[in-house]
Structure 1
């Protein structure tokens, strides 16, 4: 049981590592040019927070996987929603930091938050612990959505194609 636990706990970090490569360059160049709200967390907080959140959601997915006996028919919806939210999570960084599409990233964050909420609803009858592990993630997504909105609002795109 160690291999599935470690694998599922580590899985979210894969996208986080690739996203970090994109972010690392852009945070020193493009991101510094943006108007950002005074209440935004410091840049150094983001890797720490995401490492913690990815670990919690990954372990939560393991708990659901274990409770449902692996990738069974019963696991299709709860783990399918989890996979969808993970893909949406990984997509945000290339949209925001890679393509500099602030408005599209905001829309994507709203979709991500809805998918995380659906994942949590589907997980609750299976594992309350797994669901609770997603609560800090949902809270951070609310903060991230507000931050993304303020950056979009305060940095109008001169091309208006965002």
Structure 2
């Protein structure tokens, strides 16, 4: 599976975790200032999850994203082009993930954020497909992320409709 040394693998895993941690921090930077003064005042559907749930869910998803990318990186038995494609898709969807927080919470634009979230959903799907060509378990690690973003899309779309 890999010819890389154990120290190199640990450093790489830590690097992927650091990248998703930075992405999470950038998203949080846009999110937290708007929670009390803007988000709490929005009309939301009855099925909106409690606020405390988002932190643990996103922490888990970010760790799965990091582990998935790390598994792709380790697969030096797979064609380099496929690994690069999967990791490029991974980076692109992560950038869209951060962008959603800034559109929804930072700019208070739920409708625009919903449009961007559709692009994010497609990017996650593309990442799963590209990752599956390299490492199927790594692709499956992204399935909960796609499921959560599907749910988030329904929630975002409903909030946009309820708050024109």
Q: TM-score, normalised by structure 1?
A: 0.91
1:87 has 2:95 as partner? yes
Partner of 2:149: 141
Question: Does the 8 A contact of 2:121 with 2:149 survive in 1?
Answer: yes
Deviations 1:78-114 (A, max 9, x none): 1111111010001110110000111110000000000
2-side partners of 1:82 and 1:133: how far apart? 12
Aligned counterparts of 2:71 and 2:27: Cα–Cα separation in 1 = 25
Cα separation, 2, equivalents of 1:38 and 1:79 = 37
> 3-state SS of the aligned residue for 1:41?
coil
Aligned residues: 156
Structure 1: unaligned runs, 5 residues or longer: 157-162
Deviates most, 132-141 or 18-27: 18-27
Matched, 1:153 2:154: no
* Mapped contact 2:110–2:156 kept (Cα < 8 A): yes
Does residue 62 (structure 1) correspond to residue 96 (structure 2)? The answer is no
For structure 2, the residue ranges without an aligned partner over 5 or more in a row are 1-8
Deviation at 1:69, TM superposition (A): 6.7
RMSD: 1.6
Corresponding residue for 1:159? none
Structure 1 residue runs of 4+, over 2 Å off?
Answer: 72-76
